[in-house]
């Protein structure tokens, strides 16, 4: 990834607003910039828009929406902002948190009203750390539907999406972005001049060297996000002298079936299950959250653990397609007794039985274990038992380029680069520095809310076109 001076560069075309990346952030930014009156071009390295957005559950947290009101759910941007700050131990920029918490509800209503995305609010399940039911999703509750519907809306608005086009060089002139160069699969190169540029090419989860540098505890971990997210925005930003923040922030997951590579819902743990290592012993307070648990699991011998649960929990988990897939793939081990379960998993029988007895005693008698977990109000496990061998994975990174109120990229000195914007995983999000700061939905929050803000501001710059 390069940043070069624009001197002497001959551009093939000029566009007022260009957006790099056709995930949720880029597509939302494109719609907003177009609505602000600008001509927009979206550039995407893949043959079709997918990104990590397509891999996600597509659930977006938003407070005070009409869907919440219709369902009789009380909520407010202030309450949401307080939840984000509490989860990330007050590390995020409170102004950014307030801006996103206030912007995301109107953004979803706009996507519904103007672009026909049929959102609804989830009322039967609340994600940990949210003090109201505020997750909104499309009918299939899948990120694939989200990115497909956004791409269709972009196409319906007449905005071109140039696919199979990887941007690798930005050109600068007088402290601003003058354009960029993209390369096609056959090696052909095109140079595009632009009035404003939105970086919506996500974080660096797919770049092993950057992960090793910024999130060393997950250096060897499976990456579960989109491979195309190579940290290009971060690398360009660094070359431009942009401010970066919270680069160690990320979302991990300590429950990916191994070796099948299928996400196993964390309900297997929150509903009364627990994790053991190869000695049949627990090793952590699993209730802190699935993100923190990624590194805990990877620290165990072989980088794996076994989640022990029961048939009742399997019934709950089966509502998730991934869990059904894991069952079909033979990842879920079944046994009538704990000894039989241990034998099937090659775990020491006596140790596993002892661990189960300790957990069940805590549920019955109350108290806190040596790791700090309480099992208060957690149902007992009963035979027949279920178990799955899991590993820890990196889902996506949360640190990135520091932006101002208009999603404009700031330099280390705090001045905005006048026509450069960042949204979604390209920008520093609201999850702080550690794995535990990620409140469910922070990823798409930054993609949708900041994407719209970036698009509105970039679109308003159309008169500054080259
Ligand atoms: C398994 C999983 C489950 C998740 N579930 C949720 C959830 O339910 N809710 C939630 O809020 N978040 C969730 N997330 C996180 C969420 O998916 C991301 O935070 C969000 O999709 C980021 O959106 P984005 O538009 O910034 O990036 P992406 O959707 O990844 O889009 C970036 C695009 O940029 C393209 N690109 C990259 N570099 C270049 C380049 N140089 N030139 C051209 N194109 C480029 C990529 O190909 C990609 O298409 C999940 C993530 C994973 C992996």
**Pair 297, 356 in one domain:** yes
Mutate which of 21, 183, 439 to test ligand 1's pocket (most atoms within 8 Å of Cβ)?
21
Give me the number of domains the chain comprises: 2
**Pair 150, 47 in one domain:** yes
Task: Count other Cβ atoms within 10 Å, centred on residue 215.
Answer: 25
93 within some domain = yes
Report the phi/psi class of residue 180: left, alpha or beta, with left for phi > 0 and alpha for psi in -120 to 50.
beta
For residue 255, what is the domain's CATH number? 3.90.700.10
* Residue finishing a domain among 347, 365, 394: 394
77 within some domain = yes
Report which protein residue has its CA nearest ligand 1's atom 8.
Answer: 57
**Pair 276, 301 in one domain:** yes
Whether residue 1 contacts residue 168, with contact meaning beta carbons closer than 8 Å, is answered with yes
CA 29 to chain centre: 17
Task: Count other Cβ atoms within 10 Å, centred on residue 19.
Answer: 34
Q: Which has the closest alpha carbon to 43: 235, 201, 202, 153?
A: 201
Q: Is 444 in the pocket of ligand 1 (CB under 6 A)?
A: yes
Report which protein residue has its CA nearest ligand 1's atom 38.
Answer: 201
Task: Count other Cβ atoms within 10 Å, centred on residue 163.
Answer: 14
Q: Is 181 in the pocket of ligand 1 (CB under 6 A)?
A: no
**Pair 92, 214 in one domain:** yes
Residue pointed to by tokens 């704990």: 338
pLDDT digits (tens, 9 = 90+) for 405-436: 999 999 999 999 999 999 999 999 999 999 89
Which phi and psi (to 5°) does residue 384 adopt?
-75, 145
The alpha carbon of 49 and the centre of ligand 1 are apart by a number of angstroms equal to 10
- Residue 464 has a pLDDT of 46
**Pair 365, 443 in one domain:** no
Q: Which has the closest alpha carbon to 195: 419, 422, 445?
A: 419
- Residue 22 has a pLDDT of 98
**Pair 205, 285 in one domain:** no
The alpha carbon of 210 and the centre of ligand 1 are apart by a number of angstroms equal to 17
* Residue finishing a domain among 340, 367, 394: 394
Q: Is 396 in the pocket of ligand 1 (CB under 6 A)?
A: yes
Q: Which has the closest alpha carbon to 229: 60, 54, 104, 32?
A: 54
**Pair 219, 282 in one domain:** no
Give Cβ neighbours of residue 39 (< 8 Å, ≥ 6 apart).
15, 16, 17, 462
Cross-strand bridge partners of residue 166: 183
Q: What is the DSSP string of 86-112?
A: HHTTT-S-HHHHHHHHHHHHHHHHHHH
Q: What percent of the chain has pLDDT over 70?
A: 99
Reply yes or no on whether the pLDDT at 125 is more than 80.
Answer: no
**Pair 385, 436 in one domain:** no
Classify each residue of 82-91 as buried b or exposed e, where b means 16 or more C-beta atoms within 10 Å of its C-beta. ebbbebbeeb
465 within some domain = no
Residue pointed to by tokens 């109000």: 377
- Residue 212 has a pLDDT of 97
**Pair 322, 404 in one domain:** no
d(C-alpha 206, C-alpha 202), whole Å? 10
Whether residue 417 contacts residue 242, with contact meaning beta carbons closer than 8 Å, is answered with yes
Which phi and psi (to 5°) does residue 8 adopt?
80, -5
Q: Please give the average per-residue pLDDT across 74-102, as a whole number.
A: 97
Report which protein residue has its CA nearest ligand 1's atom 49.
Answer: 51
- Residue 462 has a pLDDT of 57
**Pair 222, 150 in one domain:** yes
103 within some domain = yes
Q: Write out the two tokens for 278.
A: 């190869």
313 within some domain = yes
**Pair 65, 37 in one domain:** yes
Mutate which of 3, 20, 125, 143 to test ligand 1's pocket (most atoms within 8 Å of Cβ)?
143
The H or E element that residue 70 is part of is helix 66-70
466 within some domain = no
The alpha carbon of 274 and the centre of ligand 1 are apart by a number of angstroms equal to 30
d(C-alpha 258, C-alpha 287), whole Å? 21
pLDDT digits (tens, 9 = 90+) for 4-60: 999 999 999 999 999 999 999 999 999 999 999 999 999 999 999 999 999 988 999
Q: Is 20 in the pocket of ligand 1 (CB under 6 A)?
A: yes
43 within some domain = yes
- Nearest atom in ligand 1 to the alpha carbon of residue 225 is 53
Name the residue range of residue 238's domain: 2-248+398-460
pLDDT digits (tens, 9 = 90+) for 145-203: 999 999 999 999 999 999 999 999 999 999 999 999 999 999 999 999 999 999 999 99
Report which protein residue has its CA nearest ligand 1's atom 51.
Answer: 56
**Pair 64, 151 in one domain:** yes
pLDDT digits (tens, 9 = 90+) for 374-405: 888 889 999 999 999 999 999 999 999 999 99
Q: Which has the closest alpha carbon to 386: 302, 291, 269, 283?
A: 269
- Nearest atom in ligand 1 to the alpha carbon of residue 445 is 11
* Residue finishing a domain among 353, 375, 394: 394
For residue 210, what is the domain's CATH number? 3.50.50.60
DSSP, res 187: S
Q: Write out the two tokens for 466.
A: 């080259």
15 within some domain = yes
């Amino acid at each position: 990834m390069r940043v070069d001076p624009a001197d002497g560069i001959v551009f093939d075309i000029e566009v007022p607003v260009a957006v790099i990346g056709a995930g949720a952030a880029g597509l939302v930014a494109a719609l907003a910039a177009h609505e602000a009156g600008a001509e927009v071009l979206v550039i995407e390295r893949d043959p079709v828009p997918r990104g990590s957005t397509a891999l996600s559950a597509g659930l977006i947290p938003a407070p005070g929406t009409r869907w919440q009101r219709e369902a009789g759910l009380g909520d407010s941007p202030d309450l949401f902002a307080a939840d984000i700050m509490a989860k990330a131990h007050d590390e995020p920029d409170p102004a950014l948190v307030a801006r996103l918490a206030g912007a995301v509800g109107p953004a979803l209503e706009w996507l519904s009203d103007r672009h026909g995305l049929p959102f609804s609010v989830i009322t039967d399940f609340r994600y940990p750390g949210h003090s109201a039911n505020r997750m909104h999703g499309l009918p299939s509750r899948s990120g694939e539907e989200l990115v497909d519907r956004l791409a269709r809306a972009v196409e319906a608005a007449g905005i071109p999406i140039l696919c199979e086009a990887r941007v690798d060089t930005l050109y600068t002139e007088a402290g601003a972005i003058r354009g960029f160069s993209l390369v096609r699969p056959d090696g052909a190169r095109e140079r595009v001049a632009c009035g404003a540029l939105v970086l919506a090419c996500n974080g660096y989860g797919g770049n092993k060297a950057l992960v090793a540098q910024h999130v060393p505890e997950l250096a060897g971990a499976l990456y579960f996000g989109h491979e195309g997210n190579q940290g290009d925005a971060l690398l360009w930003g660094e070359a431009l002298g942009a401010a970066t923040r919270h680069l160690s922030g990320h979302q991990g997951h300590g429950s990916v079936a191994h070796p099948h590579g299928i996400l196993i819902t964390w309900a297997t743990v929150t509903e009364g299950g627990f994790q053991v290592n190869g000695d049949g012993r627990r090793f952590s307070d699993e209730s802190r959250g699935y993100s923190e648990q990624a590194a805990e699991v990877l620290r165990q011998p072989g980088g794996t653990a076994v989640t022990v649960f029961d048939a009742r929990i399997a019934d709950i988990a089966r509502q998730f397609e991934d869990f059904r897939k894991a069952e079909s793939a033979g990842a879920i081990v079944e046994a009538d007794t704990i000894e039989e379960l241990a034998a099937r998993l090659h775990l020491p029988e006596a140790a596993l039985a002892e661990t189960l007895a300790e957990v069940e005693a805590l549920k019955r008698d109350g108290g806190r274990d040596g790791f700090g977990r309480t099992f208060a109000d957690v149902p007992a496990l009963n035979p027949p038992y279920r178990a799955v061998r899991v590993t820890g994975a990196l889902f996506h990174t949360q640190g990135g380029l520091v932006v101002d109120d208009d999603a404009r990229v700031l330099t280390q000195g705090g001045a905005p680069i006048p026509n450069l914007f960042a949204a979604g995983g390209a920008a520093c999000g609201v999850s702080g520095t550690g794995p535990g700061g990620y409140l469910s939905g922070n990823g798409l929050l930054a993609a949708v809310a900041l994407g719209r803000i970036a698009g509105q501001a970039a679109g308003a710059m159309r008169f500054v076109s080259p």
